[in-house]
Structure 1
Amino acid sequence: MTLISIVTSCLNEADNVVELHQRIKAQFDAGGPAADFEFEHIYVDNGSTDATVAQVKALAAADPRVKLIVNARNFGHVRSPLHGMYQASGQAVICMASDLQDPPELIAQFVARWRAGELIVLGVKPHSRETWAMAALRRAYYRALRRMADVPVIANFTGFGLYDRSVVTMIRELGDPYPYFRGLIAELGIRYATIEFEQPARVRGITKNNFYTLYDLAMLGLTSHSKLPLRLATLAGFTLSAASLLVSLGYLVAKLLFWQYFTVGTAPIIIGLFFFGAVQLFFIGIVGEYVGAIHTQVSRRPLVIEKERVNLPPGPALPRHSGGAEP
């Protein structure tokens, strides 16, 4: 039977991992909509401090189709799922979150579209049960990114979807250690299908997305698929330099013509100083984001360091003490 890999990254999701597996299992067991496919369910634990690992190990002991990778620490919300995707052995890989906000019941539709010939099937969430402020901010970000990006970025897509083995191989060969999937899929140029769903509210546990992770994803999308901010920085530099020169010439002429009673004062100087300082710091920050993205690309560090594997072939792990005497 054709094997399909389900990859879920988890961080302190002890309240959700058991129900998640039960709902995924129901899709493939006898009578399920995907019963004519075999599956493996790979959990990638990203440094949980609760009972998540123990819960998954209990599942793996009862069902060999459940597999576990325990990371040595939290390697982030991008690298950990990507590593899990690379460890999957199925002819298709379905990536989803472990907080039950990516409905496992969509697996049947993903598989049906894949069987019909689609290499990529994405779950997009035009509607989500979140606060109106977060929804408005998300819409504004995607609208701005679509206008600035070099490729048509996929809005309301978080990585939840099915990827054919050939697509996984292509992504791996690109060698991007920190990809922005919303733009990467469009960058590949492969036709993809989308399935819309309403993202349910989290029932148990707390979200692991905070201001930093959301900001990180926003900047990742900007620096990965657009050079417009750098061009704006250059253009603003030329414009402000020209404006400064004109203002300086104007003050010089005014002082020469009306030197007896024309006083510049300190207010314009202070205002100009702070204004130009703020503009410089802003664009230095933009340049810094691009430099940071380049640093991530050239560092060539492993996606994750594994601490433990369950029901999987041996893989890279933490170095262990050889037992020899110290020199």
Structure 2
Amino acid sequence: MLISVVVPCYNEEAVIARFHDHVVKEAALLGHECEFVYVDDGSADRTLFLLKELAATDPRVRYVSFSRNFGKEAAMLAGLRYASGDAVVIMDADLQHPPELIGRMVQLHAQGHDQVIAKRTRDGDRVTRVLTARAYYRLINRLVDVELVDGVGDFRLLSRRAADAVLSLAEYNRFSKGLFAWVGFPSVTFEYENAVREEGRSKWTFGKLLNYGADGLISFNNKPLRAAVYLGLLLLAVASLYAAWIVGSAVVNGVDTPGYVTLIVIITALAGVQMVMVGVIGEYIGRIYYEVKRRPHFLVQSTNAVPADRLEELVR
């Protein structure tokens, strides 16, 4: 069996050589052939140079370099396209995904699981981050059409048929955590303690995490649009009751001039609600806009690999 290890990279020059040493050491214990597919996501440092050096010394190394930074979602998609293994392991290059777990993943895959998912514990995280994550997953699982699990990310093994299923989903706005859950297939999850990042700082700023969370909320349901309809009906009902109360009060007590403050508050509140709803609708329309243009998910600047589908054609 051929195992493909897919590694998205962005400005990882400080750690990429060390990561490769670790993953090669673990691969030697598997008893299977391995290939290593590194995807350089438009790095501004020497990451690509180091990947080319690795490819020159290790024939199992494949590298794919983008023309610019397209994001981790595009990098994972490229890695899956260029991986030709019977099973594909996706992991980060910063050693926060321990290479020592690859062997366990392969063993669980051999038991018939198409997805072997590594779930990191929250041990050591700040209390505020733990509470925020719990609240987010509790909310999102009430809304989205798939189940998302706290602590489960991209670190996983996919069988060939599971990887092909993910590749068949050609949508431009990708939320891989949801796509992995959507394709299904027999899966198993195990926990691990998240390792400390050895070099550099995380690329995930608060703003990026916020946008990523919004992507997850919008990508797998239309409930915000349905909520806009229900909220509109609720406001209409409240306005009708208020109008009936005003008319009734005028009939019983005579005409009274409505309060200026009340009027301003109502107008401001309704304007705010309308802007929020327009923003929600705009998010969906924007996604449709990107989908219909059918632009490629990424552009390859240089590579020493052949996409898996092209490889099958060449063999024939």
Match of 2:207 in 1: 212
1:280–1:314: structure 2 CA closer, same or farther, 3 Å change rule?
closer
Q: Distance in 1 between matches of 2:191 and 2:286?
A: 34
Q: TM-score, normalised by structure 1?
A: 0.88
* Bigger shift: residues 180-189 or 52-61: 180-189
Tell whether the 8 Å contact from 2:173 to 2:219 is kept in structure 1 after alignment.
no
Match of 2:149 in 1: 154
1:304 corresponds to 2:298: yes
Letter in 1 for 2:236: S
Q: Distance in 1 between matches of 2:134 and 2:248?
A: 49
Tell whether the 8 Å contact from 1:130 to 1:201 is kept in structure 2 after alignment.
no
* Bigger shift: residues 58-67 or 178-187: 178-187
1:313 corresponds to 2:312: no
Q: TM-score, normalised by structure 2?
A: 0.91
Q: Distance in 1 between matches of 2:292 and 2:119?
A: 32
Alpha-carbon shift at residue 230 of structure 1 (Å): 1.8
Q: Kindly report which structure 2 residues correspond to 1:149-228, keeping only aligned pairs within 5 A, or say none.
A: 149-228=144-223
Letter in 2 for 1:8: V
1:276 corresponds to 2:275: no
Give aligned-pair identity as a percent. Answer: 32
Alpha-carbon shift at residue 314 of structure 1 (Å): 8.3
Match of 2:312 in 1: none
1:110–1:314: structure 2 CA closer, same or farther, 3 Å change rule?
closer
1:273–1:140: structure 2 CA closer, same or farther, 3 Å change rule?
same
Q: Kindly report which structure 2 residues correspond to 1:19-168, keeping only aligned pairs within 5 A, or say none.
A: 19-29=18-28, 32=29, 34=30, 36-168=31-163
Q: Distance in 2 between matches of 1:130 and 1:204?
A: 18
- The answer for unaligned runs of 5 or more in structure 2 is 309-316
Which segments of structure 1 move beyond 4 Å, counting only runs of 4 or more?
none
Alpha-carbon shift at residue 128 of structure 1 (Å): 4.9
Tell whether the 8 Å contact from 1:155 to 1:182 is kept in structure 2 after alignment.
no
Alpha-carbon shift at residue 259 of structure 1 (Å): 4.2
Tell whether the 8 Å contact from 1:7 to 1:42 is kept in structure 2 after alignment.
yes
Letter in 2 for 1:268: T
Match of 2:283 in 1: 289
Tell whether the 8 Å contact from 1:151 to 1:187 is kept in structure 2 after alignment.
yes
Tell whether the 8 Å contact from 1:12 to 1:51 is kept in structure 2 after alignment.
yes
1:247 corresponds to 2:242: yes
Alpha-carbon shift at residue 293 of structure 1 (Å): 2.8
Report the 3-state secondary structure (helix = DSSP H, G, I; strand = E; otherwise coil) of the residue aligned with 1:48. coil
1:265 corresponds to 2:259: yes
Report the 3-state secondary structure (helix = DSSP H, G, I; strand = E; otherwise coil) of the residue aligned with 1:218. helix
1:222-262 superposed Cα distances (whole Å, 9 cap, x missing partner)? 122222222221111000111012212322333454446x3
Report the 3-state secondary structure (helix = DSSP H, G, I; strand = E; otherwise coil) of the residue aligned with 1:174. coil
Q: Distance in 1 between matches of 2:122 and 2:97?
A: 13
Alpha-carbon shift at residue 73 of structure 1 (Å): 0.6
1:34-54 superposed Cα distances (whole Å, 9 cap, x missing partner)? 1x1111111111111112112
Report the 3-state secondary structure (helix = DSSP H, G, I; strand = E; otherwise coil) of the residue aligned with 1:186. helix
Report the 3-state secondary structure (helix = DSSP H, G, I; strand = E; otherwise coil) of the residue aligned with 2:72. coil
1:68-94 superposed Cα distances (whole Å, 9 cap, x missing partner)? 111001111211211111111111111
- The answer for unaligned runs of 5 or more in structure 1 is 316-327
1:132–1:201: structure 2 CA closer, same or farther, 3 Å change rule?
farther
Higher fraction of helix: 2
Report the 3-state secondary structure (helix = DSSP H, G, I; strand = E; otherwise coil) of the residue aligned with 2:146. coil
Tell whether the 8 Å contact from 1:80 to 1:303 is kept in structure 2 after alignment.
no
1:97–1:129: structure 2 CA closer, same or farther, 3 Å change rule?
farther
Match of 2:313 in 1: none
